[in-house]
């Protein structure tokens, strides 16, 4: 059989413990090349620049008429 708690934890103790479990806000910067929001220390998803250099080429989609 599983063990049972010896003493009841108060509501304040339970809520204090749960108060620290939360989501943190993501810190965004603006890309100096395209001025769109991007994650810090990451390649920009919109233009592919990082540190003033082109790291990833932007993909283009060709549309053909049928």
Write down the domain spans for the chain: 25-58
Provide the H-helix boundaries in the chain: 11-19
Q: What is the pLDDT of residue 46?
A: 87
Question: Given this model, what pLDDT does residue 15 score?
Answer: 95
Give the Å distances, CA to CA, from 47 to 10, 41, 44.
53, 15, 6
Q: Whole-angstrom Cα distance, residue 54 to residue 3? A: 60
pLDDT tens series, the chain, 66 aa: 788 999 999 999 999 999 999 999 989 999 999 999 999 999 998 888 898 888 887 767 778 887
- Residue 63 has a pLDDT of 81
């Amino acid at each position: 059989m599983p063990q049972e708690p010896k003493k009841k934890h108060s509501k304040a103790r339970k809520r204090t413990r749960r108060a620290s479990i939360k989501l943190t806000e993501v810190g965004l910067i603006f890309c100096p090349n395209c001025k769109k929001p991007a994650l810090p220390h990451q390649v920009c998803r919109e233009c592919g620049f990082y540190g003033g250099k082109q790291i990833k080429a932007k993909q283009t989609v060709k549309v053909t008429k049928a």
